[in-house]
Amino acid sequence: MNSAPYSWHAFAERQDLAAALAGHVAGRLTNAIAERGTALLAVSGGTTPARFFASLSSIPIAWNKVTVTLVDERCVPASSPRSNAGLVAANLLQNAAAAARFVPLYQEGVSIGETSEADSRMLRSLSWPLNVVVLGMGTDGHTASFFPDADNLEKLLDPSSTSTVLPVHATSAGEPRLTLSLARLVEAGFIALHIEGEDKRKAFETAMGPGAKKPIRAVLDAAGTPVDVFWAP
Ligand SMILES: O=C(O)[C@H](O)[C@@H](O)[C@H](O)[C@H](O)COP(=O)(O)O
């Protein structure tokens, strides 16, 4: 069984993980700016990233040359506590990072199908491929909005997809979602997986084992570079 290559970075404290991951991301963004004049970062939402976002926001890089977008989004207004755009606005786009450009996935009042088409057009204008992707993971092995019960999971995980943004309907997701496709995520020069707690460590280990392939495993298997996993208890 080919085991997907990844690097495991464990930290005793969540704040130490946040500072270390922020340093890695800031360094990769700075390298991208040096190489092509701009940098493209995609981050995940949920409850885990807030400390990391706060640490990254205060690192003085050329944020005016950085575009930040989302790995995925819940189809809710930015004012909703469920909004990933709201999480990024409140925790990342502050301090030095306030100078970054933010490109959201969800547009209020537009149907999810129209939004994913419109997002694809808007996002296609960005300087792909992504330079940095920061993923989260659920204990069910989902990452981004690649939920195991998604009705279009095969399309979401298709490594040859030409799609940029896809709609997701999955009972376990809660509200309808929009997600970057696996194909766009795995092109990134640096892919980090940020997980915390014993349950997620066990879920990751299981996903790396011989059982049914979970979405996180599909990402690691398709990634162009070994994924860096950042974990704290
Ligand atoms: O919108 C989202 O929910 C995310 O992008 C998703 O992929 C998240 O990373 C995991 O669900 C973990 O979420 P927690 O950090 O809340 O555990």
> Domain for residue 45, yes or no?
yes
> Domain for residue 4, yes or no?
no
> Domain for residue 16, yes or no?
no
> Domain for residue 146, yes or no?
yes
Looking at ligand 1, which atom is closest to the CA of residue 84? 1
Instruction: For residue 37, report the distance from its CA to the centre of ligand 1, in Å.
Output: 30
Is the minimum distance from the CB of 72 to ligand 1 under 6 angstroms? yes
At 119, phi and psi to the nearest 5? -60, -40
Q: Looking at the 3D structure of the chain, how many domains does it have?
A: 1
Model pTM?
0.96
> Domain for residue 211, yes or no?
yes
Give me the domain span that covers residue 126: 25-227
What are the pLDDT digits (tens) for 4-58? Answer: 789 999 999 999 999 999 999 999 999 999 999 999 999 999 999 999 999 999 9
Q: Is the ipTM reported for this complex over the cut 0.95?
A: yes
Instruction: For residue 44, report the distance from its CA to the centre of ligand 1, in Å.
Output: 7
Distance (Å, rounded) from C-alpha 24 to C-alpha 111? 37
> Domain for residue 10, yes or no?
no
> Domain for residue 15, yes or no?
no
> Domain for residue 13, yes or no?
no
Tell me what the mean pLDDT of segment 126-147 comes to: 97
Distance (Å, rounded) from C-alpha 222 to C-alpha 186? 6
